[in-house]
Amino acid sequence: MVTPPPAGHDRPGDPCIIVIFGASGDLTKRKLLPALYNLKALGLLPKDFAILGVAVSPGDDQWFRDEITSEIHEFSAHRPIDETIWEEFRKRSFYISGDLNSTATFEKLKTVLERVHGQLKIPGNILFYLAVAPTLFSTVVRQLGAIGLTKEDEKGWRRVIVEKPFGHDLSSARALNNELSQELKENQIYRIDHYLGKETVQNILVFRFGNSVFEPTWNRRYIEYVQVTVAETLGVELRGSYYDQAGAMRDMVQNHILSVLALIAMEPPSSISGDSVRDEKLKVLEAIRPMSPEEILSNTIRGQYGAGEISGEAVPAYRREPQVSLSSNTETFVALKLSVENWRWAQVPFFIRTGKRLAAHTTQVVIGFRTVPLLLFGKNMPNHIPPNRLVLYIQPEEGITLDIHAKRPGPKITLANVPLNFNYSEFGRGDGATGYETLLYDCIIGDPTLFHRYDSVDTSWQIVDPILDVWQALPARDFPNYAAGSWGPESSDRLIAKFGHQWHHYPKIS
Ligand code: BG6
């Protein structure tokens, strides 16, 4: 079963041609094609659609169709592939081989687009997906502009999905945005963040604003702290050359984690579409005051993994990974304490941590509630029963747990911690979804809610840039400072302990 479409998303998108730059890359085969196939299977791709792949690999339409056919069978988690649906998909797929720095490639693109529009009777809507190296983002858009493919007219819309990272720091993000803005209006630019395509991340909005019981307690009076953990057991795999220039702060914090934090902390939007949600998310980011150098030294931790073990297997140190410098000072772990300075959250610490090669693969948000104002029960064991906690499991476990206190059965009043659980796997969660379905579909119907608007990107860089500057000025002297397979450097535990807390990790929805 494919995950059913989100409510309200029940009409096929507008007829269009989807042009994928980087069509022979990893993202295309692992995520984009399976997601487009799933949309087709759900009836959410328009009847009149075509896929046009562009990449440097030599090949023609037939070659591309054969390639994607073997890829969909290898990478789609939706089994079995419905061959009738796939055949329809396959025959609507086309390919152009060419160098993206060459004008000739774009002239060819224009000719092929005109042919496909005519041949399949698809109106002029075109979605361009930039699944290419960030260094090519502005080149591709400039070339598209030069041949008039970015201009919208009565014949159709033009939208561009830009992958992350959007810039390397604040100034390069601004420069990139300026370059894109030469050719595109803000409402044509869809800055994608695949975390926002995750079912459980979107559910944060529904959980908070679709229920009336949580909102009254969702503030500093009742919540003592918030923790966001994004832990991976994977290392950098074959992405060493990118990652060694990026590090965990740019790779995870600036985009995915700040976005999740914004959904947790935002005020209720006036509607759930368009700019309302993005306006509220921006306000949260603006309320995260950039830290002074002194605060950075005391409220941030960076780490890099040394050799260790993951699931009983020896794994090398980060510096021994392919395409990583032997003396690399890039952080593979970050822990931070942030403050959201507004009336709702003043003095509530937001702790975030993320890292590669950690002890578990998990993304979860823990909301720690305050203790009851008067301890009637369990007075003699206040430390043994922690106050209520709400755990939002984002992945790979998907669900929500609320830890409450209950009386243990028996003649005496003793308390126990009891989890109230909601598990997505028991809720008709279909397999096979990549997380890109919603985002691709939203772009096709022109709903930008789940995409980053530039002002948020800019504000996120304003938060992380000062930290990166201090780290660069004072290179870490103790790297590697955690073993692969651990929970990161001990200094991360000391950081949170300084504020009277400890990191929580809920391995499973119990
Ligand atoms: C990507 C990062 O954006 O997100 C990767 O570049 C990271 O380094 C990945 O591994 C994590 O995504 P997910 O969906 O597996 O949590």
**Nearest CA to 260 among 448, 111, 450?**
450
Judge if the beta carbon of residue 232 lies within 6 A of ligand 1: yes
Judge if the beta carbon of residue 251 lies within 6 A of ligand 1: yes
Nearest residue (CA) to ligand 1, atom 9: 252
Cα 267 vs. chain centroid, distance in angstroms?
A: 21
Dihedral pair phi/psi, residue 397, rounded to 5°: -65, 140
- Residue 119 and residue 127: Cα distance in Å, rounded? 18
Residues ≥6 apart with Cβ < 8 Å to 251? 165, 243
Q: How remote is the CA of residue 161 from the centroid of ligand 1, in Å? A: 18
| Tokens matching residue 304 | 């890099």
Q: How remote is the CA of residue 195 from the centroid of ligand 1, in Å? A: 8
- Residue 387 and residue 369: Cα distance in Å, rounded? 6
Which residue of the set 78, 117, 256, 452 is catalytic? Answer: 256
The best mutation among 30, 194, 202 to test binding of ligand 1, ranked by most ligand atoms within 8 Å of the C-beta, falls on: 194
Nearest residue (CA) to ligand 1, atom 13: 195
Q: What is the predicted pLDDT for the residue at 375?
A: 79
Ligand 1 atom with least separation from CA of 363: 16
Angle at 54 between CA 113 and CA 167, to 5 degrees: 115
- Residue 23 and residue 54: Cα distance in Å, rounded? 5
**Nearest CA to 436 among 33, 160, 151, 111?**
33
Nearest residue (CA) to ligand 1, atom 2: 251
Q: How remote is the CA of residue 288 from the centroid of ligand 1, in Å? A: 24
DSSP H or E stretch at residue 265 = helix 258-265
Determine if residue 220 is left, alpha or beta; phi over 0 gives left, psi from -120 to 50 gives alpha, anything else beta: alpha
- Residue 356 and residue 333: Cα distance in Å, rounded? 6
Judge if the beta carbon of residue 199 lies within 6 A of ligand 1: no
CA distances, 435 to each of 45, 53, 272, 365, 439 (Å): 16, 21, 19, 19, 8
**Nearest CA to 82 among 52, 43, 47, 24?**
43
- Let me know if 504 is a catalytic residue: no
3-class DSSP state of 122: coil
Q: How remote is the CA of residue 356 from the centroid of ligand 1, in Å? A: 10
Q: Is the peptide bond before 480 cis (omega within 30 degrees of 0)?
A: yes
Residues 97, 57: contact at Cβ < 8 Å?
A: yes
Judge if the beta carbon of residue 163 lies within 6 A of ligand 1: no
Q: What is the predicted pLDDT for the residue at 4?
A: 45
Q: How remote is the CA of residue 194 from the centroid of ligand 1, in Å? A: 8
- Residue 349 and residue 225: Cα distance in Å, rounded? 5
Cα 395 vs. chain centroid, distance in angstroms?
A: 12
Residues ≥6 apart with Cβ < 8 Å to 55? 21, 22, 23, 24, 25, 95, 97
Side chain identity at 105, as an amino acid letter?
A: T
Q: What is the predicted pLDDT for the residue at 373?
A: 85
Residues 137, 184: contact at Cβ < 8 Å?
A: no
Q: What is the pLDDT along the chain (510 residues), one digit of tens a residue?
A: 334 444 456 678 889 999 999 999 999 999 999 999 999 998 999 999 999 999 999 999 999 999 999 999 998 887 788 999 999 999 999 999 999 999 999 999 999 999 999 999 998 999 999 999 999 999 999 999 999 999 998 889 999 999 999 999 999 999 999 999 999 999 999 999 999 999 899 999 999 999 999 999 999 999 999 999 999 999 998 899 999 999 999 999 999 999 999 999 999 999 987 799 999 999 999 999 889 999 999 999 999 999 999 999 999 999 999 999 999 999 999 999 999 999 999 999 999 999 999 999 999 999 999 998 887 876 666 556 788 999 999 999 999 999 999 988 888 888 888 999 999 888 876 656 788 999 999 999 999 999 999 999 999 999 999 999 999 999 999 999 999 999 999 999 999 999 999 999 998 887
Ligand 1 atom with least separation from CA of 255: 3
